[in-house]
Structure 1
Amino acid sequence: MREEVLTDELWARPEPLIPVRPRRFRHPGRRRADDRAALEGILYVVRTGIGWNRLPTALFGASGATCWRRLAEWHEAGVWQQLHERLLAELRAAGLLDLSAMLVDSTHLRALKRGDHTGPSPVDRSKPGSKHHLITDATGVPLAVTLTGGNRNDVTQLIPLIDAVPPIRGVVGKPRRRPRRVYADRGYDHDKYRRLVRARGITPVIARRGVAHGSGLGKVRWPVERTFAWIKGFRRLRVRTERRADVHQAILSLACSIICLRKLILN
């Protein structure tokens, strides 16, 4: 007997977002695998990091190939993005989201099969790699995450990350998507991007290159580094094994949604 991977509480969130496929009567073909079984298989692969073809079909009721196709299909339909936005709204309604400041950072991972959004890594002897770029609220709740090649400079992703934050509902009034301040390390030190951040009504708090360490930003920025540790807790995200960037992005979005749900449950 295996442990429960997909709880009723987790399934209740994406279930209404999943598109309903119309039933074919004239040429029905093989019966479509159950959506819940497919999502349970997806979560098992993402959490354990096993290959899709090694997923035990007899236990989950859906093959690894079916789960992979369903992951990509739902990503294209916007299911994972909608799920993330709904959970962010729930967090804000519960008072568990601090949008007074946002934190940005990135992390590198190897790309074993190359593919889209990969490049020679400057920190891994020019081997193919990718980067996760993350923006969180002041407590480390993931708001948006993007994927680029491993050779992409962090500062070039600062504005796309800020713009990727969705309008967050949950309270009466206009949806919130802009913080008062953005905190970043020396990798984002560039006056041009400071001006672009200020043009959006946000105060950039970015460490300067060439100055002694001890800026004090570490006591503010540590939650984003902790969130990366949570993301790496999903073994499928420690090393990039997906050739297609959209499939890897789907796994990233799903992981962020699970992190948000955990905070809702624990609080």
Structure 2
Amino acid sequence: MSRSAVLSDAHWELIEPLMPSSDGKRGNRFGDHRRIVEGVVYRFRTGIAWRDLPEQFGPWQTVWKRHRRFSQDGTWDRIHTMLLTHADAAGQIDWRVSVDSTINRAHQHAPTSRAPQGDLSNHTNLSVEPADHAVGRSRGGLSTKIHHVCDGRGRPLVLLLGPGQGNDSPMFANLIGAIRVPWTGPGRPRTRPEAVLADKAYSSRANRALLRSRGITAVIAEPSDQAGHRKRRGSKGGRPPKFDTEAYKGRNVIERSFNVLKQWRALATRYDKLAITYRGGVVLGVIITWLRELGDTP
């Protein structure tokens, strides 16, 4: 396989049925999807400007517009969900999941929005561009956070965006609520993992209560300030939360998962103005990861 192509024939056979055939207008049928998808992958992998795409992928405007459309109408998300369904049916998903975020610098070509920030709920509607474009100011300057849930083997299940200065804990409920893997047959999608592993940033009564109410084991480290406050209250502080130190060792898979994503230069550094198109590139990177995990047989 060449440097400009990442999809094998078996991979394409798996995802092609979910690609739209037209833009919804009479007579406007889409052209060669495979070439376009390879062009989008090439751009995010190399980090070049859209205008610098090699001619073999066709007009760069067509590649960009098709990518934005598929990012906004849910095409990339539907393909990701389909691959999760195949993986779960084959018993390849480890349901002891990990939650974390990674912060990525935003290039000067990305927006410098002055929109109000802090409410992360507007970043969960994946078809609507958030007012702040999921860009914020942190100590390192303009940045974006990828909030992420992966399975016990480091393969991504959920991906949401937020501004770089946003705290991790407020996104926890949204991330857990977004876990949804349909069955191959009848029945409700699977939405409940066996356990959730997370670092101290996610330690709060609300997060632990959420997991407890859904019968999910919490493997969340307790920060020293919370432990000290509980001890100072004596018997009123309650018992320390249960914490499986051995199970917590498995949380490192999410750091390795981030490392895989950041092999694509336009994901490690954000160049896209729109949060929708940037997240679409992240989801496409995840699709390629799952295709490789599932092998060459649909």
TM-score category of the 2 structures, normalised to the smaller one = 0.7 to 0.9
Question: 84, 88, 92: which one pairs with 1:92?
Answer: 88
Shift, 1:176, TM fit: 1.4
Question: 188, 192, 198: which one pairs with 2:212?
Answer: 198
* Equivalent runs, 1:12-161 vs 2, <5 Å: 12-21=13-22, 33-57=31-55, 59-60=56-57, 62-99=58-95, 101-112=96-107, 113-114=110-111, 116-122=133-139, 124=140, 127-161=141-175
CA-based RMSD? 2.5
Partner of 2:295: 265
Partner of 1:6: 7
What secondary structure, in the 3-state scheme, does the structure 2 residue paired with 1:12 have?
A: helix
For 1:32-87, what per-residue CA distance to the aligned partner results, in whole angstroms no more than 9, with x for missing partners? 65222211111111211111110011x22x12221111001112222111100111
Partner of 1:219: 249
Are 2:169 and 2:202, in contact at CA under 8 Å, matched by a contact in 1?
Answer: yes
Shift, 1:187, TM fit: 1.1
Change (3 A) 1:17 1:215: same
Are 1:13 and 1:83, in contact at CA under 8 Å, matched by a contact in 2?
Answer: no
Identity of aligned residues (%): 36
**Distance in 2 between the 1:200 and 1:217 partners?**
19
For 1:113-152, what per-residue CA distance to the aligned partner results, in whole angstroms no more than 9, with x for missing partners? 2350111114x1xx11110111011121210111100011
**Distance in 2 between the 1:191 and 1:23 partners?**
50
Amino acid at match of 1:247: T
**Distance in 2 between the 1:196 and 1:261 partners?**
32
**Distance in 1 between the 2:179 and 2:136 partners?**
25
Shift, 1:7, TM fit: 2.2
| 2:189 paired with 1:179 | no
What secondary structure, in the 3-state scheme, does the structure 1 residue paired with 2:162 have?
A: strand
**Distance in 2 between the 1:2 and 1:225 partners?**
29
Which runs of 5 or more residues in structure 1 are unaligned?
A: none
Larger mean CA deviation between 171-180 and 69-78 belongs to 171-180
Give the TM-score, by structure 2 length. 0.78
Give the TM-score, by structure 1 length. 0.87
**Distance in 2 between the 1:32 and 1:197 partners?**
44
For 1:75-119, what per-residue CA distance to the aligned partner results, in whole angstroms no more than 9, with x for missing partners? 2222111100111111112221112x2110111011122350111
- Count residues in correspondence: 255
**Distance in 2 between the 1:103 and 1:171 partners?**
27
Change (3 A) 1:150 1:141: same
**Distance in 1 between the 2:283 and 2:149 partners?**
13
Shift, 1:196, TM fit: 2.1
What secondary structure, in the 3-state scheme, does the structure 1 residue paired with 2:270 have?
A: coil
